[in-house]
Structure 1
Amino acid sequence: MEYDAVIVGGGACGLMCAAQAGLLGKRTLLLEKNDKVGAKILISGGGRCNYTNLHTDIHNFVSENPNFLHAVFSQWTVDDTIQFFQSFGNIIGQEKTLGQLFPQSNKAKDIVGVFTKLMYETQQDIWLQAEVKTIAQDGDAYTLTVLHEGATRHIRSDKVVIASGGLPIAKLGASDFALRTARKFDLRVVDTAPALVPLTITGKDADWYASLAGNAVFSRVANKQISFEENILFTHWGLSGPAILQISSYWKAGEVFTINLLPHFDVQDLIKQERAAGGRRTVSQLLQAHFTRKMVDALGKFLPIDLKIASLSKADAKLIWDTIHHFEVKPAGDKGYDKAEVMRGGVATDELQAKTLESKKHKGLYFGGEAVDVTGWLGGYNFQWAWASGYAIAQDL
């Protein structure tokens, strides 16, 4: 069988690429290592799939060159994503918090179903449990060595799309295949790291965090680059929750970031108001209006929570403000790729044509989705990049 392209990886980018190629009248072969396509789609959002974000902009992405995204996002917008799933799967999006869009059915399998139906209708081929061992360039074409159904097969194609994802999550078939392929073809790879990942705390403060396991606090988490306002979650091993996952994409080992535990209030103002009313309540009673009793008791490690407000010195008041609004955290590390939602880094954008994502050095070789140095925030942004990059590549096949 002659194919216009071979697509390696049946995740979000690969599926969109194959579906869009089919709509253009092209024939592709999609190679997927798992026994089904869309494994990460199916578990995303707790099985509900936050498939895009209404507020998508290049500023919602971590990359050496976020401006690179303009050329792809101008071809495929959030509206295009919404219309695509509505037209081909009758999927109506419902907005949750912060622009996050989920299917009304709350079923990630409905998203995957759109692609499998389209690929069937446009006669795209899918090989499941097909592991690509090597890719070699042979003149103007590429030869892929594939282990499939117990046999080693050799597939030749003028165009190959690497959409095999990043390093998270190994049990879903994640591997470094895209990175190894890029390096083999002498393409620069930006250093990779887990992103959107929980952070660990060790040492003398570990027990303090563990004692608060299960407590969620709406906070503003910030470093020198950026800040996020969402919940943080204390765990037995450190910190998680949306705000922590977000800041993790901007965090490097050894760095300190701060948490404002009460971002919409000023503790100094609360103390002044209490003093004006006589100051008879204790610091503990003041804080219990905003935190759980367990959280207040834990803050007693740092604060004079049993003192009456009227008795606070200036130093006491400053200590309370610093602790509540500028709580410093120095994580020991992160929970690794198996707990990360995405990978930071990847194939450098300056190695790829901005409009088509084709390698500048190797005609007919494309990289899309998580394999590229484009990492979105939590909340549907990475899916929007995957759909858009798959679409952009398909236009050039």
Structure 2
Amino acid sequence: MLILHKNNNINGLMDADAIIIGAGACGLMCAVQAGYLGKKVILLEKSDKPGAKILISGGGRCNYTNLFATDEQFISNNKHFSKSAFTQWTVDDTVSFFEAYGITGKEKTLGQLFPDGKNAKDIVDVFTSVCADFGQQIICNAQVSEIEFVNDSSFTIKYEKGGKQRTLKAPKLVITTGGLPIPKMGATDFALRFARKHALNIIETAPALVPLTITGKDEDWYAQLSGNSVFCEVSNDRISFEENILFTHWGLSGPAILQISSYWRRGEEINIDLLPGKDITSLIEEERRVNGKSLLSTLFNRFYPKKLTDAMSKFLPIEKQVASLTKAELELIHKTIHLFKVKPAGDKGYDKAEVMRGGIDTNELSSKTLECKNIPGLYFGGECIDVTGWLGGYNFQWAWANGYVIAQNL
């Protein structure tokens, strides 16, 4: 049961300057930054180890920031909310922080920074070792059951560990328990339940950075292409992304699909340009001049896996010589290649989502401190807030920035 109520009887000394619930990216950074300032914190983590989601990120390699990260790559009902945090803690700050502990970044694609010669475990080890140096305590397998606001001056947190009920007290409370994706890794709605219990507004949540499903008459067409990847531009009327898409036996995945999924709403179509930066009509005309007897499939095979070329026979005359293509057929080819429309049935849900869209309304929080406006001393950080980043290290940058900002104000 998650409750917050006032108790006018204040007894005992404080156990720490702050209690942090959730030892993920934001909570760990907050603990370390608090340590730099000489503040003692205690982290409570329901899983059996800290940084569980960090450890699986990027297939265990951990894309820990993005060199191009700004507030522009984030979705929120208040698009300006993230600006303050990113001003206080920049990408350069993230890079310098990890370099100070022996982790240098290696850029992969589109600004994505991975540890050079190291992995996600090394990222988590930085935080756990620094926490140990500062005497910051991380208590795992801790299930918080009750939160009590004592005499407007402190929080009492009751939690269970090893079958025993325990209690902690601190003047500040930080909730960084993440969102709903990947429940098997310990994802929880703790922050959302707590917020609703205490009348904080919640922006509707949904899976984000998530594969999209195809059902009905087109299902088999996508399934036969499972495992094939193609560089495309994927768009809707709000945004576009140029990256690979991956066909699967249940629909579409890959970086471009994950990106657009955060902007997709059920019932909408998405557009796929299967040959971005080129014009298929011009390529056909050029092929006609060189060898008019060449088949359309031969041209397609230069750009696509053979399976995709063969599958295009459902829509296009791929075994026809390019010299014989009619004007109507050329228009159909152009439309199919550059404006391939897909209407997903749904998404793969929180089990496969990288992050959650929506969350605690930013209007409930100070953008400068991340303190709750109506409950002094209470802070929220990370994924549970209505700020959702693109794929590619952006959400980690948000978590690090949140941890820093909160620590400065404890």
Task: Give the 5 Å matches for 1:1-397.
Answer: 2-87=15-100, 89-140=101-152, 141-397=154-410
Gaps of 5+ in 1: none
- Is this contact kept in 1: 2:103–2:118, CA < 8 A? no
Cα deviation for residue 278 of structure 1 reads 4.8
Q: What letter is aligned with 2:53? A: K
Which deviates more from structure 2 when the two are superposed, residues 275-284 or residues 15-24? 275-284
Distance apart, 1:2 and its partner CA? 2.2
Kept in 2, the 8 Å contact 1:135–1:181? The answer is: no
The answer (yes or no) to whether the contact 2:192–2:359 under 8 Å persists in 1 is yes
1 CA distance for matches of 2:389 and 2:105?
Answer: 20
Q: Distance in 2 between matches of 1:185 and 1:365?
A: 12
1:274 shift after superposition: 1.9
In the alignment, which residue of structure 1 is the partner of 2:3?
A: none
Report the CA distance between 1:198 and its aligned residue. 0.6
Q: In the TM superposition, what whole-angstrom CA distance separates every residue of 1:335-384 from its partner, at most 9, and x where no partner exists?
A: 11011111111111111001110001110110000010111101000000
For 1:129 and 1:64, the matched residues in 2 are separated by 34
Q: Return the TM-score normalized by structure 2.
A: 0.95
3-state DSSP of counterpart to 2:169: strand
Question: For 2:272 and 2:148, how far apart are their aligned partners in 1?
Answer: 49
Query: Structure 2: how far apart are the matches of 1:347 and 1:138?
Result: 24
User: What is the DSSP-based 3-state SS (H/G/I as helix, E as strand, rest coil) of the residue aligned with 2:106?
Assistant: strand
| DSSP-derived class of the 1:394 partner | helix
* CA apart distance, 1:304: 0.9
Counterpart amino acid of residue 168 in structure 1:
P
Instruction: Give the distance between the partners of 2:197 and 2:169, measured in 1 at CA.
Output: 18
**Offset, 1:157:** 2.2
Deviations 1:135-179 (A, max 9, x none): 233331222221112111232222110100000111111110010
Whole-angstrom distance in 1 between the partners of 2:214 and 2:203: 27
Q: Secondary structure at the match of 2:88?
A: coil
**Residues 15, 168 of structure 2: 8 Å contact kept:** no
Distance 2:151 2:395 in 1: 34
Contact 1:275/1:310, CA 8 A, preserved across alignment: yes
Give the Cα separation in 1 of the matches to 2:147 and 2:327. Answer: 68
Q: What are the ranges of 5 or more consecutive residues in structure 2 without an aligned counterpart?
A: 1-13
1:267, distance to aligned residue in structure 2 (A): 0.5
- 1:264 CA drift (Å): 2.1
- Structure 1 CA distance, aligned partners of 2:290 and 2:347? 45
How large is the RMSD of aligned CA atoms in angstroms? Answer: 1.0
Provide the TM-score with structure 1 as the length reference. 0.98
Q: Secondary structure at the residue paired with 2:230?
A: strand
Q: 2:9 maps to what in 1? A: none
Separation of aligned partners in 2, 1:198 and 1:250: 12
